[in-house]
Amino acid sequence: MAIEPELLTAKQLSDYLGVSEASLAQDRYLSRGIPFVKVGKRVRYMRADVEDYLTAHRTEAGVLR
């Protein structure tokens, strides 16, 4: 059983979401997207923030927002 980290790197998150790291960087630059934290110069994403963001942006089939 692997322990899943509470903090994800941009690489880990981009692999999980199927988006590029550049897309995540652009979202950070434009102050949109998933909240992130800086640990020194390193960018990290809290797993709880990722889950909250995905839940908040979930749509039902056939329903447009």
pTM: 0.81
In a domain, 1, yes or no: no
In a domain, 26, yes or no: yes
pLDDT (tens digit, 9 = 90+) per residue, 30-62? 999 999 999 999 999 999 999 999 999 988 877
In a domain, 65, yes or no: no
pLDDT at 62: 72
In a domain, 46, yes or no: yes
Instruction: Dig out the tokens for 40 from the structure.
Output: 């020194």
C-alpha to C-alpha distance for 24 and 45, rounded to whole angstroms: 11
Work out the pLDDT band at 3, boundaries 50, 70, 90: low
User: What is the residue range of 34's domain?
Assistant: 7-57
Number of domains in the chain: 1
- Whether 33 contacts 22, CB under 8 Å: no
| Residue 49 belongs to domain with CATH number | 1.10.10
